[in-house]
Chain A
Amino acid sequence: MKWWVSVWAMEIRKILAYRSDFWITFLGQTTIQLLIARALWQSIFEAQGTDSMKGFTLPMLTLYYLIVPIGTRILTGENIGFISREIYDGTFTRYLIYPLSFFQYKTITYLTQASFYGVQLILLYTLYHLFYTDSAGSAVNLFTGLGLFFSASITYLSMAMSLELMSLWADNVWSLGVMLRFFTSFFGGGFIPMVFFPDWARVVLEWTPFPYLVGLPVRATMGLVTTPEILQGLVLMMSWSLVFMGLARFIWRRGQKHFTGVGI
């Protein structure tokens, strides 16, 4: 347990080392994405001459797109290349002398990043309900959403890990990470809420992990999901996590035989 706390504290210090990055990412990125998405939907609402589409009003979509960028950061934890870069440059060998395993270390650093963005979500959600809207926020909704985002981040970690470990064969796999982000953002409802997708597409996507990674936690934070939906989401996320953890272990067992430890 002591190791977990040490790695967590070290990772927090690393995040806070570049404060300008922190503020630019936190405020700049979130604001820009929100403004662009809001402008788009405002234009659609005006063109249609309506106040609501598929159960979403403009203020609801504003909150949706406020949660999406921060939520996606909780989900994706560390940057693309969090394993592959170390394999590529040979620093991967340092885990041989660490007092905890490579998988444990990476899980802690990943979840530390996720928890840090979780705090940002709490802050933004509170500010939004204090200053922007008349509706009161709900602590139950916020923490249900946060809980789902953390479950989703474990599923995403298992998926990202499987792809990152491919770098035991290929020299540069960041494009696989980017592909995963495209899929997650689009098919998870990060670009457009899933309710706007055609029915047949939603039926197909329900069996994939994507709608549970972004859309479900965002809607839970907004109080738009029922308990059975949450339970279904958790079961599916857990199942997919197990599948991808198994795959990661398989790739790891095979791939470590290819690792030379030399780096570039």
Chain B
Amino acid sequence: MKRYLRLYLYFLRFSFSKALQFRLDFTFRIIMDIIYYVVNILFFKVIYLHTPMLAGWSEEQMMVFVASYLLVDAINMTIFSSNMWWIPFHINRGDLDYYLIRPVSPLFFLSLREFSANSFLNLLIAGGFFTYTLAMYSAPYNFLDLMLFIGMIINGTLIYYCIQMMMIIPVFWTHSARGFQDLFYSMGLAMERPDRIYKGWLRLVFTTVLPFALIASFPARIFIEKFEWTTIVHLFAVSLGLWIVMISFWKLGLRNYSSASS
């Protein structure tokens, strides 16, 4: 564990020095993420011009949800996103060989090697918006509620990572990640909508099979509405199940890996 932590600190140092070499790109990415945040906030502002309630939430409550998924997105963009982009290339070019022979978990190395220093600034902005939204929130809440909410958002980030990995791993067989990656980004929209809008089989899919609704909507719901153990159990059971499935799928993919030009 200590070895992995030390390794991660090296990743951080390397990523910051690399990001500062490309200052123009650094600025572009900060602006891009700010635009993404603004567009998402405006989206719900426009919706609330036509309805006072959406999925049982007022505009104030919806902003708590928006702040949650923006925070999840910012954490993901900072820690995982760049790495996720490169994994298919490593697999297709046979570069995975170099990761397999190293004395650390290849999944750890591939998932965390690049820390996006430019997105880190956006993480601060998303964190700021999250703090502001909670500070302005009119309903009472205590320190424990807040800690539980933050814990569930971190859990939501891990769910997001697992689903994304599940969409990347098929590249071991399909040799192209574009289709599944595009599909993942489209499905990512499911995370950005409150879970109560999904009914029937669509709800079942987004709360168990592809649990996008558990990433930010469930945490926000537990924070905004009455605390329910069933929701918490559901959230952690699905997260654990997804993690096990993802690891098994990764191992299966590795067994199918045929090195260079696979």
Q: Which residues of chain A have a CB within 8 Å of any CB of chain B?
A: 18, 20-25, 28-29, 32-33, 35-36, 39-40, 42-44, 47-48, 53-54, 69, 79, 169-173, 175-176, 178-179, 182-183, 185-186, 191-192, 196-198
Q: Return the chain A residue nearest B178 by Cβ.
A: A21
Decide if B179 touches A182 in the complex (CB within 8 Å): no
State how many angstroms separate the Cβ of A245 from the closest Cβ of chain B. Answer: 23
Instruction: From the candidates B39, B174, B180, B197, name the one contacting A39 in the complex (CB within 8 A).
Output: B197
Whether B25 and A175, one on each chain, are in contact in the complex, defined by CB atoms closer than 8 angstroms, is yes
Contact A24 B179 (CB under 8 A): yes
Could you jot down 7 A-B contacts, CB within 8 Å?
A25-B182, A29-B186, A39-B193, A42-B197, A172-B28, A175-B31, A192-B46
A39-B193, A39-B202, A175-B32 given; A44·B176 CB < 8 A: no
Q: Are B199 and A39 in contact (CB under 8 A)?
A: yes
B55 touches A28 (CB 8 A): no
Q: Specify which chain B residues have a CB less than 8 angstroms from the CB of A35 in the assembled complex.
A: 202
* B260 touches A (CB below 8 Å): no
B233 within 8 A of A: no
Docked-complex contact B42 and A173, CB < 8 angstroms: no
- Tell me whether A170 and B22 are in contact (CB under 8 A): yes
Chain B residues closer than 8 Å to A172, beta-carbon distance = 22, 25, 28
Q: Using a Cβ–Cβ cut-off of 8 Å, how many residues does chain B contribute to the interface with A?
A: 39
B186, A69: Cβ atoms closer than 8 Å: yes
Q: Confirm or deny: B93 has a beta carbon within 8 angstroms of a beta carbon on chain A.
A: no
Contacts of A42 in B (CB 8 A): 197, 199
Who on chain A is nearest to B177 by CB?
A21
If A44-B47, A183-B35 touch, does A175 touch B174 (CB 8 Å cutoff)? no
Identify which of B31, B35, B176 contacts A18 (C-beta below 8 A): B176
Cβ of A76 to closest chain B Cβ, rounded Å: 11
- Nearest CB on A from B211, distance (A): 14
- CB-CB under 8 A from B51, the residues of chain A are 44, 47-48
With A172-B22, A186-B39 known, 4 other A-B pairs at CB within 8 A are A24-B183, A25-B178, A25-B183, A192-B46
Which residues on A sit within 8 Å (CB–CB) of B43?
Answer: 186, 191-192
B24 lies within 8 A of chain A by Cβ: yes
The 6 closest A-B pairs by CB, nearest first: A21-B179, A24-B179, A175-B32, A43-B197, A170-B24, A175-B28
Interface residues of B (CB under 8 A from A): 22, 24-25, 28-29, 31-32, 35-36, 39, 42-43, 46-47, 49-55, 174-176, 178-180, 182-183, 186-187, 189-190, 193, 196-199, 202
Instruction: Report which of A24, A40, A192 forms a contact with B182, defined as CB distance below 8 A.
Output: A24
Q: Which residues of A contact B174 (CB under 8 A)?
A: 18, 20-21
Which residues of the partner chain B approach A44 to less than 8 Å between Cβ atoms? 47, 50-51, 54
Cα(A171)–Cα(B31), bound, Å: 16
CB distance B179 to A22 under 8 Å?
Answer: yes
Instruction: Flag if A196 contacts B50 (CB, 8 Å).
Output: yes
Interchain CB contact (< 8 A) of B176 among A20, A47, A54, A170? A20
* Contact in complex: B28, A48 (CB < 8 Å): no
Question: Once the chains are docked, how many angstroms separate the CA of A53 from the CA of B25?
Answer: 42
The answer to whether A36 touches B193 (Cβ under 8 A) is yes
Closest Cβ of chain A: how far from B233's Cβ, in Å?
25
Asked if B25 and A179 sit within 8 Å, CB to CB, the answer is no
Give the CA-CA distance A22 to B179 in the complex, in Å. 7
Roughly how many angstroms separate A136 CA and B19 CA in the complex, as a whole number? 55
A29 touches B28 (CB 8 A): no
Residues of A contacting B39 in the complex (Cβ-Cβ under 8 angstroms): 182-183, 185-186, 191
Q: In whole angstroms, how far apart are the Cα atoms of A150 and B25 in the complex?
A: 31
**Contact status A196-B193, CB under 8 Å:** no
Whether B25 lies near A24 (C-beta < 8 A) is no
Beta-carbon contact of A28 and B50 below 8 Å: no
Q: Are A29 and B183 in contact (CB under 8 A)?
A: yes
Q: Report A128 CB to chain B, min CB distance, Å.
A: 19
Chain A residues contacting B175 (CB-CB under 8 Å) are 18
Q: Which residues of A contact B186 (CB under 8 A)?
A: 28-29, 32-33, 69
